[in-house]
Structure 1
Amino acid sequence: MLNNWVAQMENTRAAAAPLAKNNPKLLAAFQGLNAAQTENGALDAKTRELIALAVAVTTRCDSCIAAHANAARKAGVTEAELGDALSTAIALNAGAAYVYSLRAMEAHGQFSQA
């Protein structure tokens, strides 16, 4: 097992208490942002959670993975659907590394000319 994801989600919620206590407006705004993204209704819950998990993987957010894996399970996401979404994340992340490698090469070249 790589991680205890249930504990990860519970620990994140517990760790959020001091921030919530010291900055309740920020927490309320964050919760409002999460609530607002479901209001349009153009995407169903399964699709939103598949996107959220793919983004969580590419941004390397363990707490996001835990929360959205739980929500995806509740929304009825299958292992096959999740596999397809994560395959897209893997392909995109590799593509991003390629494009940013080109940027690094370009930057290196520009500094050698300065």
Structure 2
Amino acid sequence: MAMIDWNAYHKQVLTGVGEFATLNPDVIKGYQAIGGAARKTNLLGSKVNELIALAAAVSLRCDGCIVVHTDAALKAGATREEIAEALGVAISVNAGAGLVYSTRVMDAVKSKTS
């Protein structure tokens, strides 16, 4: 059993974005312009772009991003194994960020105790 009904959630996200677009269309146009600019050269291809998006979605803890980019990654031909590898990179980078920021805490401790 899935933790979330991702298909229903996907529809809910798209509906919510559509409703927001009617209230503030310029923000949506700006968002679409950023996405279009990021993919303009298409040097990495759709599949790699979507794998990067999934890693970022996990790092940012964005369920809406997860559902939208999972769908797009699968449509771009990404396999479960490729998605798992991209997520492994996200996990590693997040662990590394925790380690690096831990050194900042220790630096703050030094400045407060010396």
> How does the TM-score come out when normalised to structure 1?
0.89
Distance 1:110 1:44, change over 3 A: same
Identify which range, 12-21 or 99-108, moves more after superposition.
12-21
Deviation at 1:36, TM superposition (A): 2.0
Where structure 2 has 5 or more consecutive residues not aligned to the other structure, the ranges are none
Question: Percent of aligned positions with the same letter in both sequences?
Answer: 39
SS in 2 for 1:39: coil
Structure 1: tracts of 5 or more residues without a match: none
Q: Distance in 1 between matches of 2:75 and 2:18?
A: 25
Superposition misfits of 4+ residues, deviation over 4 angstroms: none
- Partners of 2:32 and 2:24 in 1: how far apart? 13
1:41 alignment partner, SS class: coil
Measure how far apart 1:110 and its partner are: 2.2
Determine if the alignment matches structure 1 residue 51 to structure 2 residue 52: yes
CA distance, structure 1, for counterparts of residue 51 and residue 19 of structure 2: 30
Per the TM alignment, residue 18 of structure 1 is displaced from its structure 2 partner at its CA by 4.1
Q: Could you tell me which residue of structure 2 aligns to residue 36 of structure 1?
A: 37
- Specify the code of the residue in structure 2 equivalent to 1:37: A
- Write the mapping of 1:9-24 to structure 2, written as runs, cut at 5 A: 9-24=10-25
Structure-1 residue corresponding to 2:82: 81
- Which residue number corresponds to residue 96 of structure 2? 95
Distance in 1, Cα, partners of 2:106 & 2:4: 36
The one-letter amino acid paired with 1:71 is A
Alignment length (residue pairs): 113
Amino acid at match of 1:75: A
